Structure 1
Amino acid sequence: MKEERRVRSSQERIDRIDQILCCKQPTLKVMLDDVHSSQNLSAILRTCDAVGVQHLYYTTSDNRDLRIHKTITQGAHRWVERTRISTEEQRVFLQKKQKEGYQVVVTHLEERAVPFREVDYTKPTIIVMGNEKDGVSSETVELADTVIIIPMQGMVQSLNVSVAAALILYEAERQLAEAGKYDTPQLSKEEREKIKSGWLYRDNIARRSKGKIPLR
């Protein structure tokens, strides 16, 4: 009986992973430009997972990895690919994405900025968020195809970066849902199977470490 429950639980887990992969949006990406807070990174990862973002990139001024707070991500860090880009390579990386057809959408308070809801996120998009103190670097703003703001009606001029990311990503989610992007897998079957293989391997290790899967 225990073995049957374990097999059933494992199959349900696999089915859930298949479902998640069918909802992934590979053309919606996020980059954090020198975000200092590992707590904010963790919160943004959780939102990325919630809306189907597959890739999150980030840079740090000291070119060191930021830690993940598992109590904040609640496991979401296992389902979103995160890559640290060196500060020296950031400009080249974004230019490469533009050549691949991505629009670089940067959050920044300036005259040419438009409200975040006016962007078409159904196009291949990489959303760049700045750090908590200085925002996005001037070099990155220069590369932007579109600069966006979140309209503020109060005394303060900005939101916490994790809150801002959630608002923008859920506007993107709304547009993608209306366009039917979650109804049809955006990743090929081969891509989904490759990702699933890696996920299952890491997931089994994580669950065994918590005693959810008995060691044979």
Structure 2
Amino acid sequence: MTPGTRRQLRPTDVKRLNRTWRRNTENRLSLILESVTGPFNVGSIFRTAAAFGADQIWLAGNATPPTNPKVGKTALGTDRLVNWHEAVPALDAVRAAKEDGYHVIAVELTSDAVPLHEARLSRDICLILGSEDHGCSPAVLEAADETLYIPQVGRVGSFNVATAAAITLAEVRRQEWSSTPSPSAANESP
């Protein structure tokens, strides 16, 4: 690339690039939000889920629904792009995800959790994210097929739940896409 030739993509170019990535995406992806109550966290999770092509989100426990006006400020309408289910007991959400063919993984620090980068995520995955204060409930941890955690090297004990969702969703798709050639943004221009 010669100096001065880098430019931001135009909206049409971005749409073409995203369409190419969608064609390279086959695995289904969903989430269970167990008692995630912060409306800005829920809105951010919906927006990130929509960006990564999540099929559905089950709300569980006392999770805040996207109909809350504060959720909408962060979700910016993306809640209409992801099928979501009204809050149900968390174990019912896990059961529904398994019946729908998902491998259910809780994002939580447990004694048997595997590091995110070592988890086998290139299949139909449903991620469980727990409440901001207490994480996933013990019953949900037992019901999950496995658990994973996000390695950290700093002096902070945990990530914000919306940030944890974004990191994990990105890794799920990265693992799926790592076996296919990457579309080049430059090649997407007319």
Compute the TM-score of the two structures, normalised by the length of structure 2: 0.75
Tell me the SS of whatever aligns to 1:85.
strand
- Spell out the pairing of 1:152-191 with structure 2 (5 A cutoff): 152-180=152-180
Q: Is the 8 A contact 1:32 1:128 kept in 2?
A: yes
1:68-94 CA-partner distances (Å, limit 9, x unpaired) = 53331232222111212312xx31332
Match of 1:122 in 2: 122
**Distance of 1:120 and 1:46 partners within structure 2:** 24
Tell me the SS of whatever aligns to 2:28.
strand
State which drifts further: 165-174 or 145-154: 145-154
Q: How many residues align?
A: 166
1:47-75 CA-partner distances (Å, limit 9, x unpaired) = 111111121111233x7745153331232
Match of 2:137 in 1: 137
Match of 2:104 in 1: 104
**Distance of 1:149 and 1:59 partners within structure 2:** 21
Q: Is the 8 A contact 2:35 2:61 kept in 1?
A: yes
State which drifts further: 113-122 or 38-47: 113-122
Match of 1:80 in 2: 82
Q: Is the 8 A contact 2:94 2:144 kept in 1?
A: no
Match of 1:188 in 2: none
The 3 A distance-change label for structure 1 pair 178 and 55 is same
Equivalent residue letter for 1:39:
F
1:78-115 CA-partner distances (Å, limit 9, x unpaired) = 2111212312xx31332343344321100121211111
Tell me the SS of whatever aligns to 2:88.
coil
Percent identity over the alignment is: 26
Displacement of 1:31: 0.9
**Distance of 1:64 and 1:172 partners within structure 2:** 24
Tell me the SS of whatever aligns to 2:135.
coil
Equivalent residue letter for 2:153:
Q
| Structure 2: gaps of 5 or more residues | 1-11, 184-190
Match of 1:93 in 2: 93
| Structure 1: gaps of 5 or more residues | 1-11, 184-216
Equivalent residue letter for 2:151:
P
Structure with the greater alpha carbon radius of gyration:
1
Match of 2:6 in 1: none
Give yes or no for the alignment of 1:147 onto 2:152. no
